A = this chain, B = another copy of it.
Amino acid sequence: MSKTKQNLERSKSAEKSRAILKGAMEEFLKHGYAGSSMDKVAKASGVSKATVYSHFGDKESLFNAVIHDLAQDRLKASIDVQQSQFSGQSPREVLSAIATKMITNATQDSVVQDFMRIIIGESGRFPELAKAYVNNLAKPVIETSTQYLKDHPELEIKDPEATVRIMIGSLVYFIVLQEMMHGKDIMPLESDRLINTLVNLIIKDQDC
């Protein structure tokens, strides 16, 4: 077999792998792990069931690959807390912008919500996947935000990491309760009220 033909075959196979990963992602995000079947994954991917098994071994391995792919690529942008794009603004503006961006992203992107549902729901049966989420998504956000607070000693924040956990926790819980658990139908709350109160708590006024 010629070298070009080898590469062609290899890229075709890689294409199938991506197609399977994409189909499996849709299926798992929609129906959960136990609620998904390899038959439907094969159909959604446009390949036969045997091809799915030849590429990913078994259902658990495929689920692992899907979640890791989501945690490493697809969702990195959603939680991207780049200080660079906020440079030149006051801490108050920066914190407000980060909070607004988090809530907007999670509210508009159904993949974010489905991913959080599955990663929390399966965290008991798939602890390694939960840890991958913590390492790849939660930890970077917390550490980057903590460093930002440490870089601004004029804010006089005694415990930056605990403060960041309070901020992130408030925002995540807002998304979980209002959007994912459909709480906005029952006890609505404007996100601006939460964000303003949060920023006012963290950044104390000078005149008091």
What residues of chain A have their CB less than 8 Å away from a CB belonging to chain B?
31-35, 113-114, 116-125, 127, 130-131, 133-135, 138-139, 142, 158-159, 161-163, 165-166, 168-174, 176-177, 180-183, 185-187, 189, 193-194, 196-198, 200-202, 204, 208
Which residue of B is nearest A194, CB measured? B162
A134-B173 in contact (CB<8A): no
* New A-B contacts (19) at CB < 8 Å, excluding given A33-B34, A134-B187: A35-B125, A114-B124, A119-B181, A131-B181, A134-B177, A134-B181, A134-B186, A139-B187, A159-B196, A159-B197, A161-B193, A162-B194, A162-B198, A166-B170, A166-B198, A166-B201, A169-B172, A170-B173, A204-B204
Q: How many copies does the complex hold?
A: 2
A182 / chain B contacts, CB cutoff of 8 Å: 123, 127, 130-131, 134
In the complex, the answer to whether B180 meets A120 with C-beta atoms within 8 Å is: yes
> Which residue of chain B is the closest to A30 with respect to CB atoms?
B124
A76 to chain B, nearest CB (A): 18
